[in-house]
Structure 1
Amino acid sequence: MFCRNQTARATVARGSALEMEIRRGKFRKSAFLDTSQDSDIQKKIDHEIRMRDGACKLLAACSQKDQALEAAKSLQTCSTRIMAYMSELQRMKEAQVMQKVTRRSSDAGPMDDRLPCKGKVAISDLRIPLMWKDTEYFKNKGELHRCAVFCLLQLGGEIFDTEMVIVDRTLTDICFDSAIVFDEAGPDFQMRVELYSCCSEDEYSAGGSAPRKLASKLSSSLGRSAGKKFRAAMEPGPCGPVSNGGASPLLLPVPSVPGPKYHLLAHTTLSLPHVQDGFRTHDLTISGNEECSYWLPLYGSMCCRLAAQPHCMTQQMMSGGLKVKCAGDPQSWTTVNAVLKGTSLFCYHRPEDVEANVQPAFTIAVNKETRIRASEKDPHSKAQNICISNQYGGEEVTHTLTTDGREDTHRWMEAFWQHFYDMSQWKQCCDAVMKIEVPSPRKPAPVTPKQGSLYHEMAPLATPSCEGLLLQDNAVSAEIRALLSSYYNDR
């Protein structure tokens, strides 16, 4: 125990020293690359540190439970963002070092600098089913276990949080209705979804010593055996408020502030294979156990809609004037203004029709099955043709495109090859444009009814038909109620 506490103090000390160096701007110059992007990340870190300081002050000053839970949520979110930004900064530094090493290497071969396009990735309709015991859900027996939960979603350097939801045995699912969109994701994205939980009853107090004071009174009254178990449940420990819920050590630890603290209850990672244009179920990795105060009976899965829109499906990847000839009419050339987007080459009669959102004169399919080649140079002209072939009903149809010169042909061919490369990387996301809902503005947290104290919740125990919240014995329960009454009166 001594070694573990000593290690924890050392971790906090290192984190605090690092934080002070960031504040004073004395971090080694090599750690912060002299680019505008790195400067933006450093500004984000400074902003989150200020937000975290504000959350600490707010949490220390909170007198209402709902306010304290929201402040603790902000504290957890800011700390996670700081860690993510620091990791992103380190990743960029390593990438620059590797780039310099590659440039200096005398035997480095030619590098393919083709990169896939970015895209939007959205998660919505997040549902996490619960598995209550029959006696708890149907018969409404046992202790009313109530927790505050929320989700953190991270993709690269972007982190979003959901609204906070109060969960008890009256709910069968934890529901987060808001849609979250990441705007700059690559096809190799890894979206981490983390579910945090906090026992809204046991872990809140305006002062850090209040639960211990109450536990001391109760344990002395209940006797050595029962009192020891009750004290252990309220004292900090592996499942207590100072635990990090099984998460990896934070680079900048969450400051120790009296009040509620959230713990990692479950997590999962979603990637490109999980993207489908529909509602699907994904496995969760659960942290903690039933002995932890923040525990909730999860099924071990979550349901959501994960959609993606690569830029190649929604933005113009190439545009310009072309002459088009269809195989069915080899003598007829049509001058068009062409736009390459999604799975089609849209052909308009006039350039202004594109901006006016007019229906195209015709379209040519450009998908994963399309074959494109550059024909031999026409000896009678300076132009070089581009042939686009597609299968329609078992028959191959070829459209021939021509440009004003070799440079234009090269640009169009390069645009086509890049388009095919993007579709090969984004895979099923390029079969059709998936619908992504625009996130609605975050609604203010609803005002929940004021929760009664533990003393008031135990008041109905006077009737013999009701079961005790802590013990079944009515005689002992009466003594507990007397202690709780004096405790709350003293406050």
Structure 2
Amino acid sequence: PDTSIRTLHLYMNDQIDMEVRVREGACRLLAACSQREQALEASKSLLTCNSRILALMSQLQRMKEAQALQRTGRRSSAGGSLEERKPCTGKVAISDIRIPLMWKDSEYFKNKGELHRWAVFCLLTVGREIYDTDLVMVDRTHTDICFEETLIFADVSSGFELRLELYSCYVDEEFSLAQAPRRLARLSGSLGRSSGKRLRAALESATACGLNGSTDRESDTDRAGSPGGSPVHAPALGPKYHLLAHTCLTLSHVQNSFRTHDLTISGTEDSSFWLPLYGSVCCRLVAQPNCMTLPVMSGKLKVQVSVQSWSEVYGVLKGTGLICYHRQEDVETSEEPAFTIPINKETRIRATEKDPVLNTQSILITNQWAHGESTHMLVTHTHQDTHSWMEAFWQHFYDMSQWKQCCDKLMKIEVPSPRKPMSLPLKQSSLYHDNGKRNQCILDYLCAVNA
């Protein structure tokens, strides 16, 4: 419906405006930072905001293009056709990210040479959902780069592509931002009055602050030496993150275990942000389709338990079974079901012909086993109920065929207990001291400056 589309467009625009405001705050913080830890976090926030803005704008553009195509009227000559069946969405979670390092013997075992440090983090993207990990400091005493977070992407399609990007910044021990303005009063009041102006200004300055690893595609020297170079392309103050490695994970990589995946490494050994990677990333990537966690269909049924005996049950189609309860109230009180009829990708479903005497239509559920097969007969109360149950079964089978191994058994998403291991010990004088509250602190700080 047009109303729903307009509402979604307004929501997307609000999200873009929010990210632009957060980005403005990050720019101000970066300009005011006098400590290395502050600047590293602010620069990381800036890169993340840039990525989210572009992802949201791309999604909004695709939505508008789809709406325009719909308005041109792609209608069949027969006056319309059934809508194509679409698989359910689900959750995708990635956790326990480990990226092994491959130091030279002289560096790691003999501990020779100057001790260098790098600040690294991961940016993970599925569609317009973008998450970043905590910042981790790495030197030659580390054998792996470890990120402890469990990141969950909601409402993901079975054809998802999860892009994992590893960003690195060489940390100079003599880091200084002395040339940055110390008084925020000297900064401009805002990047623009309207959200449109703020957005244009944010995108223009995004190039200067390293938009999504753009510093890797074009060196600072090339930008500074380009003909007619403008301030927009001038290198920004503060630390710069570079795309060190990336990979793309899809449904085929989902397993209910810790697995290793190949990484594509960017840059060369001569780059300052270079880290000696093995070329692989280890992680746990799991998925929970909605058909495995939410009821697909529920209602009253009669199930044949013997040749002459039938049982009135309340059936719930979910996951790998048709769960049959004695009463509907048992579902709400989490009582044990009376029995469960297995439902999997090999299950066969068919509706019988309508009984002319009883005026009923049955549903037959057949499962194959090593010792033979078993068939359960269901009877609904009305013909419409039978049609609804059959449609639910077909949709469930289609969902299973699209989500594949994710529907063999429900995969568990383990969310660790709330804790905040700080990889970068920030001093009490820090403008913000908790990565989880970073965006809100930036917004509060921006509002105070503009007041």
TM-score per shorter chain, which class? Answer: 0.7 to 0.9
* 2:290 counterpart of 1:311: yes
User: For residue 196 of structure 1, what is the aligned residue in structure 2?
Assistant: 167
Alignment of 1:148-227 (within 5 A): 148-201=119-172, 204-207=175-178
Correspondence 1:134 to 2:113: no
Partner of residue 337 from structure 1, selected from 314, 317, 321: 314
> Unaligned 5+ residue runs, structure 2?
181-209, 219-231, 428-451
Change in 2 beyond 3 A, CA 1:367/1:255: farther
Is 1:49 equivalent to 2:20 in the alignment? yes
The alignment partner of 2:49 has SS state of: helix
* 2:213–2:241 CA contact under 8 A, matched in 1: no
SS in 2 for 1:266: strand
What CA deviation, in whole Å up to 9, does each residue of 1:98-137 have, x standing for no partner? 3234535648973543110010000000000000000000
Cα deviation, residue 203, structure 1? 8.8
Structure 2 vs 1, CA of residues 331 and 449 (structure 1 numbering), >3 Å: closer, same or farther?
closer
Q: Distance in 1 between matches of 2:233 and 2:123?
A: 16
The 3-state SS of whatever aligns with 2:390 is: helix
Amino acid in structure 2 at the alignment position of 1:303 = C
1:120–1:310 Cα contact (<8 Å) kept: yes
Query: How many Å apart are 1:437 and its aligned residue?
Result: 1.3
Letter in 2 for 1:293: S
Contact 1:122-1:436 at 8 Å conserved across structures: yes
What residue in structure 1 maps to residue 303 of structure 2? 324
Counterpart of 2:237 (choices 234, 255, 258) is: 258
Question: Does residue 78 in structure 1 map to residue 49 in structure 2?
Answer: yes
Per the alignment, in what secondary structure is the counterpart of residue 331 of structure 2?
helix
**Partner Cα distance (2:243, 2:167) in 1:** 5
Looking at structure 1, the residues matched to 156 and 98 of structure 2 have their Cα atoms a distance apart, in angstroms, of 23
Instruction: Write out per-residue CA displacement over residues 28-55 of structure 1, whole angstroms, 9 at most, x where no aligned residue.
Output: xxxxx96111111111111111111111
CA distance in 2, matches of 1:392, 1:333: 24
Give the Cα–Cα distance (whole angstroms) in 2 for the partners of residues 149 and 124 of structure 1. 17
Preserved contact between residue 75 and residue 254 of structure 1 (Cα < 8 Å): no
Superposed counterparts of 1:103-118, under 5 Å: 103-104=74-75, 106=77, 110-118=81-89
Range with greater deviation from structure 2 (288-297 or 256-265): 256-265
Shift of 1:445: 3.1
| Displacement of 1:144 | 1.5
Which TM-score applies when normalising by structure 2?
0.80
The aligned residue for residue 7 of structure 2 is 36
Q: CA RMSD in A?
A: 2.5
Task: Say whether 1:389 aligns with 2:360.
Answer: no
Which SS does the other structure have where 1:178 is aligned? coil
Name the SS of the counterpart of 1:182 in structure 2. strand
Which residue of 1 is the match for residue 437 of structure 2?
none
**Identity within the alignment, %:** 62
Which sections of structure 1, spanning at least 5 residues, go unmatched?
A: 1-32, 210-238, 248-252, 451-491
User: Larger relative CO (CA 8 A, sep 6+): 1 or 2?
Assistant: 2
The size of the alignment, in residue pairs, is: 382
Q: 1:449 to 1:88 in 2, by over 3 A?
A: closer
Structure with greater Cα Rg = 1
For 1:43, give the aligned amino acid.
D
Aligned residue among 363, 369, 376 for 1:399: 376
Partner of 2:21, secondary structure, is helix
- 1:128-154 deviation digits (Å, cap 9, x = unpaired): 000000000011112222100000101
Q: 1:203 to 1:154 in 2, by over 3 A?
A: farther
CA separation of 1:242/1:360 partners in 2, compared to 1, >3 Å: closer, same or farther? closer
Deviation at residue 439 of structure 1 after TM alignment: 5.4
Asked if structure 1 preserves the Cα contact closer than 8 Å seen for 2:125 and 2:131, the reply is yes
- After superposition, the Cα gap between the structure-2 partners of 1:447 and 1:293, relative to the gap in structure 1 and judged at 3 Å, is closer
Deviations 1:410-448 (A, max 9, x none): 000000000000000000000000010125546263553
Taking the aligned partners of 1:370 and 1:353, their CA distance within structure 2 comes to 26
Matched, 1:270 2:241: no
Q: 1:435 to 1:242 in 2, by over 3 A?
A: closer
Separation in structure 2 between the aligned mates of residue 444 and residue 305 of structure 1, nearest angstrom: 20
Among residues 372, 375, 379, which one is paired with 2:356 in the alignment? 379
Q: 1:182-237, CA deviations, whole angstroms, 9 ceiling, x for partnerless residues?
A: 1110100000001011111179421459xxxxxxxxxxxxxxxxxxxxxxxxxxxx
Alpha-carbon distance in structure 2 between the residues aligned to 1:255 and 1:379: 82
Q: Which amino acid aligns with 1:373?
A: R
What residue is the counterpart of 1:5 in the other structure?
none
Change in Cα spacing, 1:400 to 1:133, as seen in structure 2 (3 Å) is: same
Residues 285-308 of structure 1: CA deviation (Å, up to 9, x unaligned): 111111111110111110000000
Rounded Cα–Cα distance in structure 2 between residues aligned with 1:414 and 1:130: 52
1:443-489 alpha-carbon deviations (Å, 9 max, x no partner) = 26355399xxxxxxxxxxxxxxxxxxxxxxxxxxxxxxxxxxxxxxx
Matches within 5 A, 1:474-485: none
TM-score by length of 1: 0.74
Alignment of 1:409-448 (within 5 A): 409-438=386-415, 440-441=417-418, 443=420, 445-446=422-423, 448=425
Q: Could you say which residue in structure 1 is the equivalent of 2:347? A: 370
Would the alpha carbon gap of residues 376 and 290 (structure 1) be closer, same or farther in structure 2, given more than 3 Å must change? Answer: same
The Cα offsets for residues 159-185 of structure 1, whole Å up to 9 and x where unpaired, read as: 111000000000000000110001110
Match of 2:68 in 1: 97
Alpha-carbon distance in 2 for matches of 1:257, 1:46: 23
